[in-house]
Amino acid sequence: MTSTATRAPVRVILFGMGTVGRAALRLARTRQWLHPVGAVIGSSASARGRIESGEHPADLRWSTDADLLLDQLRPEVALIATRSPVADVKEDIIRCVERGVSVVTSSEEMFDPNVADPSAAGEIEAACRAGGAAVVATGINPGYVFDVIPVVIAGASWDVQRVSVTRMLDCSVFGRTVHRLLGVGYSPAGFEEARRAGIIRGHIGFEESARVIARVMGRDLDRFEENVRPLIAEQTYQLAEYVVSAGETAGVVQDATGWVGGTPWLRFDLSLHVDPESVGIQTRDHIRIEGENTLDVTIQPGTQSILTTSALLVNTIPSVLSAPPGLYTATDLLPAAPWLDADPPPGIRRRIQG
């Protein structure tokens, strides 16, 4: 049932038609070697409205019934851009891989599912091997700025005294649902309450990124600590979906520290704001690996979240289809790269249509 010789486009199914899913669909349509055949959408009215009003390929099938689409469309790879927690994507991942459909997901926790849910990671790994499919998570973060890029830069390192990554980003590209999770659009009291209740998690994935960096370098983090605090608006911000008033949270500052042998070894800082320039923040990503051959890297302007995450989903397809069945972290696969030819990349795993 597998072959590496066919020149037919690779059949892709998407799970989730939020901002990332829609961007991934738009990008996949520009790659001649990819054929987006279907989209699994949520059952909410807004999910249905988004797909009905969007410009999609005439032959794109969509449904809330994932099993139906998987069985009827027989895709070769799935891009799952629905939710962050392992618990929320596990079922969709397993229904794909048990049918031999490999998965690239933007779920932050799936970047290293052993942090949040080792037992789910084991289940997914077993399903991958049984179904003959591979799974990996990627995105701007985790998947790029806070882990893959630092690890690749560190290829030139001697000792590694300290890893630090700073990202300042414009979060106006996200909708209100994501803002609520990030901590944007709250009164100060509401922010504290939502943070205590675990509704606000800030950016998800710092611990996953940190543990992957450490593991790739043969280090073990003996302690990991994270903080998030609000940036209060001093003016009104009119956003696409709603208004952030003066006195409400217009952004957050988040940091994380990882210790090795009792010493701070890794430091992450993330500032996000609905209008960074208004508060004097220039978007940028900064990576510094200190040691005998210190490496200091700046991406400026900072990488745009939606475009970057959707690109990584699509550009990881060749890597995930080249890997033996299993559950991977992105650092255990060949790095994502944009495949620009009309024919599919050589050597990828194909499923011949029955």
Selected binder of its own copies within 6, 63, 187, 304 (CB under 8 A): 304
Site for its own copies contains 345 (CB under 8 A):
yes
The helix/strand/coil state of 296 is: strand
Selected binder of its own copies within 298, 324, 352, 353 (CB under 8 A): 298
Closer CB to its own copies, 73 or 173, in the complex: 173
Query: Which of positions 117-176 make contact with its own copies (CB under 8 A)?
Result: 140, 144, 148-149, 151-160
Residue 173 neighbours by CB under 8 Å, 6+ apart: 19, 304, 305, 306
Closer CB to its own copies, 190 or 345, in the complex: 345
Site for its own copies contains 326 (CB under 8 A):
no
Residue 198 neighbours by CB under 8 Å, 6+ apart: none
The span from the CA of 7 to the CA of 92, in Å, is: 28
Phi-psi category of residue 246: left, alpha or beta, with phi > 0 → left and psi -120 to 50 → alpha: beta
Closer CB to its own copies, 87 or 297, in the complex: 297
DSSP 8-state symbol, 154:
G
Query: Which of positions 209-238 make contact with its own copies (CB under 8 A)?
Result: 216-219
The span from the CA of 83 to the CA of 80, in Å, is: 8
Closer CB to its own copies, 155 or 262, in the complex: 155
Q: CB–CB of 93/101 below 8 Å?
A: no
Distance of closest approach, residue 232 Cβ to its own copies, in angstroms: 31
Q: What sections of 163-239 are H helices per DSSP? A: 176-182, 188-196, 206-216
Span from 13-21, 68-76, 233-241, 310-318 in contact with its own copies (CB under 8 A):
310-318
Q: CB–CB of 150/165 below 8 Å?
A: yes
Span from 181-189, 198-206, 227-235, 287-295 in contact with its own copies (CB under 8 A):
287-295
Distance of closest approach, residue 311 Cβ to its own copies, in angstroms: 5
Site for its own copies contains 264 (CB under 8 A):
no
The span from the CA of 206 to the CA of 56, in Å, is: 34
Interface residues toward its own copies, by CB under 8 A: 27, 30, 140, 144, 148-149, 151-160, 216-219, 292-293, 295-301, 303-304, 307-308, 311-312, 315-316, 331-341, 343, 345
